[in-house]
Structure 1
Amino acid sequence: MLIGFKKAGLERTPMLYFVGFCLFVFLFFTQFTLRTPTYGERSIDVQVVAKLFFHLSIFIIFLPGILKSIFFTHNGRTYYFSLICYFLLLSTLIGAYSGFYSYYSFFYVFFTFHFTIVAYKFLGRDGMLIVFFNVCTVLFFLSVIFYYANPSVARYAYWTLDGFYFSSRMQGVVGHPNTLAFLCVTAIFLLYYFFSKELLTKRITFIYLVFFLCILFLTNSKTNIFSLLFCFSLIFFIRGKTYEISLLIFIFAFVVLVSSLVFGWVDIFLKGISRTGNIEEILTFTGRTYIWRFILDLVFQQPVLGWGYANTAALLVDNSENIGFTVAQAHSTYFQLLISGGFVCFFLYLVLVFRMFFLFVSKRDYISLMLLVHFVVVGVSESMVFNTVPNLPFVFFILLLVVTGYNDSNV
C-alpha cells in the first residue's frame, strides 16, 4: 500500500510499511464494524467480546515491546500524557457513573497509546506518517463507496421531532462527519509534507488533493475547513514564505466580518454558512454552548477529580432534559477534559500542548507543528483526543508525543 510513493525516498522496506498498514487497518476496521457498547451500557455481547479478543491478541503479541514502552521509552511529553491517563483512571475508579463502558474505553486509550509507541520504534516518524496516510486513503475510498451504495451507513442522520432523516453530509465508515473531516485535513497536511520531500510526483499529489478536498466539502465541517486555512497560514507566516497569501486570507476574513457588521448583512451571512438556515445554529456553535454551560455546572461540583473518563456517555445522557437534547460527549477537548478529570487534567494537558508547540517551533518540525495546531483548533469544538474509545486522530496525537522533533526546513 504505497500507491504513488517513490521507493528511493523511503526509510524502511515496503514490506514493513505493508505490515504496519495491515495492523492499523485491522485495528480500526474492527473498531468501526464490530459493535461498540452504547451510552452507559454495562452489558456485553458477542461482538464486543470478539473485538476485545482480537485486540487483546495483538496486545499480547506486542506485550514485550509494550512493557518496554511503559517503563523505559518515555520522554517528558509521554510522561505528562501518562500522568493525565493515570489521573483519569483514578477519577474513573471513584466516579459515580463509572461502568463497563468507562473501563472498556480506558483500556483502548492505554492499548492505543503504547501500541503506537511500539509501532513508532519499528517504522520511524516518516514510516508512521506513510502508514497513516494510506490507512486514511483506504477509509476515504470505503466512505465514498458506502456514501452511494448504503446511505444509512455513510450519511449523517439528523434527529427531529418527527424522527430522523439522512442528510447529504458524509460521515463515511468512521462514524461522524467531523472525524472524517479531521482525517481529510490531516491527510492534506501529510500530502504537502510528502510532496515537499519529493516522495510523491506532482500528478499523484494533484489527484490525491482533489479527492481529499471533495471528501472534506462533503462532510460540511466548517471547523476543519477553517483549521486547514489557519494552519497553512500560520506555517507560511512562521517560515516567512508566501506572506502575501496569509495576508490575503486575513484581509478577506476581516472584510467579510466588517461588511457584515456595518451593512447589516449579519443575518444573510450567518444563514448562508449555516446548514439549516437558522442563525442560532451559528451563534451557539450548533448547540455546543448549551452543552458547555451545563458542563461548567457539573465541573464545579467535582472541580479536582472530575467525573471519570468516558462517563459523559452516561452522565450527559441522563441529564438530556437540562441540555435540551441528547449528547454523549462535550464536543470540545477542553470541556471534555474538565468534566472527565477536573482542573488538574485540564492544566496538565495545556502544559503538554505548550511544551510540544515550543519543541516543534525550535526544531523547525513543521509537519508536526501543523498537526498539533490542527488538534488545538479543532479541539475547541470537537473531542478529538480524550473522548471515549480512541480513534485514528488519537493515534496521530500519540505520534506527536513520541517524536523528538525533526528539522523540516525544506517543507
Structure 2
Amino acid sequence: MSGFGVYLDHGGVRRVGWRAGDHVLDLGTLARGDRPDLGPFLAGGSLDPLLSAGPAVWADALEAALRWDETGADRTPLAEARPMLGFTVADYVDFYASEHHAAHVGRLFRPGQPALPANWRHLPIGYHGRAGTVVVSGTPITRPSGQVRCPDASIAFEPSRRLDLEAEVGFVVGVPADRPVPMRAFADHVFGVCLVNDWSARDIQAWEYVPLGPFLGKSFATSVSPWVVPLALLEAARVAPPPRDPRPLPYLDDTDAEPWGLDLQLEVLVNGAVISAPPAASLYWTGAQQLAHLTVNGATLRCGDLFASGTVSGPAPDQAGSLLELTENGAEPLTLPDGTVRGFLEDGDEVVVRATAPGVDGGEVDLGEVVGRISPAVGPALS
C-alpha cells in the first residue's frame, strides 16, 4: 500500500487513485458505487476536496481505500497510470532540519567559522520557495543558468556546473488555519507525507545566498512524489527525535509530548545505483515543530501548502542526502558502478529518491519514489 494521488487514465481523464503496490485503484469508481458519500472528495480529478475536508473524512477515505483494495477491485498497472501533481500547491516552504546536513554544509561553505549558525538549535530555519515550480515525479529538470563567481573572482552568466539533488521529506497541509498551529494540532492540519527532491544549483546558490538565503539556485524546480501517504499509515513509524540542547522554547518544546519524529529510511539513486541511505529519524526538528514555527508569527495556512524538511542526512558518510556532502563539494567525486565519475549531476542523469517506513504488525509502508532526469540548459547565455 502507498497513498492517495491523481493519475491520467487511458482516455486522458484525471482520476483520484489509491496506489496499491504495483497497481492503482480508481477511487472515483468506489465513490460512484459503494460509497457515494465520498463522491465529493474522490470523484473529481484533484485531491484538493479531500485535503480540505479534515481528519474525519481522511480517516473514512483511508478505510474505504484499504477495503476497496482488499476486494480485488479493477486495477490499472502502475506503469500505465501517468502520475499527475495531485493537489494545488498554495505555498512552499523548505526547512533546514537535519543537524548533520547543516553542520556539514557549514564546514564546507564557512571554513574556520562555527559549523552551525547561532540560531540553529533554537528554531527551525527555513525559506520560502516557489509554489509554481513544484513539479510531479517524472518531470524533466532543465539545467538552470545564472550568475556564478569564477575561480578568478570574475562574475559570469552560465549554466550551472554544480547541479545537485536534495533528498527530503515533504508534508502536505489540508485544513487551513488563520492562527498559530500548536504542535499538538499537527495531525489536525497535515494530511500526509510525500518525498521531495529540492534541486539545487550550488554555484548559483553560493554567489547569491548572502545575505537573504536561497533564491534562483533553488527556485527553478522542486520535484515531489505523486502519492501522498496519510499520516495515519505512519503511526508505527513515529519515534522520538534526537535530544535537543538547549531545550527549545515552549511552543517548540516536545520533551513531554507524543513524538513526531518519523523513522523513514530513504535511498538515493543516480542512474540506477544507490549512492546513499539517509535516515529521516535523525532529523533534529520534526514536522510538528516546523509547522508550529511556520505559523507562530500569525502566518496563515492554506489547503495545499507544502513544507519540506530540507536535506535529510545521517551521521555516516553514506547517509548524506546531497552530492555536495557526498563529494565534499566536488573535491572527492563518486565513481558509479558503470565507471563514470560524478562530482555533481550531468545532463542525462536520472535521480531517484525512494523511502519505506515501518508499518503496523511488522509490515512496511512504501512511500514510493520521486524521479527526475536532467535536461540540458535552454538557450544561449544572456548578455
TM-score with structure 2 setting the length: 0.24
Q: Which structure's residues are more often strand, by fraction?
A: 2
